């Protein structure tokens, strides 16, 4: 903690704690993982014959070498999944920007709580998305071949976990830890 004395007045400037720096890194990683999840072509795959992303569903008939694709934005649960994931990603982006601005200015503490609240809200949105997706997929799409949830779905879980970690780190009271740094 830095302090400067001018006359009888002491001005305290809060130092950036390693906890908040790790929190900022967690938020950045969550943002990167969300971008990867949204752009991923593989949320569900099945034996090199079927790929489902948030945007399109592609399948390859056995007798053909060409893939046939259609938009997934025709069903309500897929639109809801995309909206929940994008809403969470927007909150993560917003919290990253606020956290980044808080690093650049002197009075950081007032930004900790809003960043944590936005991150917890993003976790709730994305957890709802990640629970809704497999339930509705299994309920509505009947694949008669082996299928698995692939890396796009895993990236979305990674983003949710890093968001939760960042939210916890931004909830920790900096007053208790600043004296140690």
Which domains are delineated in the chain? 16-43+76-180 (1.20.140.150)
Q: Measured between alpha carbons, how far is 56 from 160 in angstroms, rounded to an integer?
A: 23
Given this model, what pLDDT does residue 1 score? 44
Q: Is 74 exposed, middle or buried (0-12, 13-18, 19+ CB in 10 A)?
A: exposed
Residue 130 near residue 158 (C-beta atoms within 8 A): no
Given this model, what pLDDT does residue 9 score? 45
Given this model, what pLDDT does residue 107 score? 62
Given this model, what pLDDT does residue 119 score? 96
Given this model, what pLDDT does residue 145 score? 67
Q: Measured between alpha carbons, how far is 165 from 86 in angstroms, rounded to an integer?
A: 19
Identify any residues that bridge with 9 across adjacent strands, giving them in sequence order. 6
Given this model, what pLDDT does residue 44 score? 86
* Half-sphere exposure for 96 (CA within 13 Å, toward CB): 19
Query: Cα angle vertex 154, ends 150, 155, to 5°?
Result: 120
pLDDT at 88 > cutoff 50: yes
Given this model, what pLDDT does residue 8 score? 47
**This prediction's pTM:** 0.81
The 10s digit of each residue's pLDDT in 105-142 is: 766 677 888 999 999 999 999 999 999 998 888 888 76
C-beta atoms surrounding 169 within 10 Å: 23
What lies within 8 Å, CB to CB, of 117 at 6+ separation is: none
pLDDT at 13 > cutoff 50: no
Residue 68 near residue 60 (C-beta atoms within 8 A): yes
Given this model, what pLDDT does residue 71 score? 87
Q: Measured between alpha carbons, how far is 77 from 172 in angstroms, rounded to an integer?
A: 36
Given this model, what pLDDT does residue 173 score? 67
Given this model, what pLDDT does residue 128 score? 95
The 10s digit of each residue's pLDDT in 38-82 is: 999 888 888 777 888 888 888 887 777 888 888 888 889 899 999
Higher pLDDT, 158 or 176: 158
Identify any residues that bridge with 50 across adjacent strands, giving them in sequence order. 46, 59
Q: Measured between alpha carbons, how far is 110 from 176 in angstroms, rounded to an integer?
A: 16
Question: Under the phi-then-psi rule, with left for phi > 0, alpha for psi from -120 to 50, and beta for the rest, what region is 16?
Answer: beta
């Amino acid at each position: 903690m830095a302090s400067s004395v001018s006359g009888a007045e002491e001005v305290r400037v809060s130092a950036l704690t390693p906890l908040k720096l790790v929190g900022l890194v967690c938020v950045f990683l969550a943002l990167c993982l969300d971008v990867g999840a949204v752009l991923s072509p593989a949320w569900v795959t099945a034996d090199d014959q079927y790929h489902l992303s948030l945007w399109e569903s592609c399948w390859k008939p056995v007798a053909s070498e060409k893939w046939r694709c259609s938009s997934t934005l025709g069903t309500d649960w897929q639109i809801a999944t995309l909206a929940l994931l994008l809403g969470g990603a927007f909150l993560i982006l917003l919290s990253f920007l606020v956290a980044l601005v808080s690093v650049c200015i002197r009075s950081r503490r007032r930004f900790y709580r809003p960043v944590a609240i936005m991150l917890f809200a993003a976790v709730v949105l994305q957890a709802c998305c990640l629970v809704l997706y497999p339930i509705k997929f299994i309920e509505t799409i009947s694949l008669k071949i082996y299928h698995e949830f692939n890396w796009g779905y895993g990236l979305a879980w990674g983003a949710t976990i890093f968001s939760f970690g960042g939210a916890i780190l931004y909830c920790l009271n900096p007053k208790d830890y600043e004296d140690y740094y």
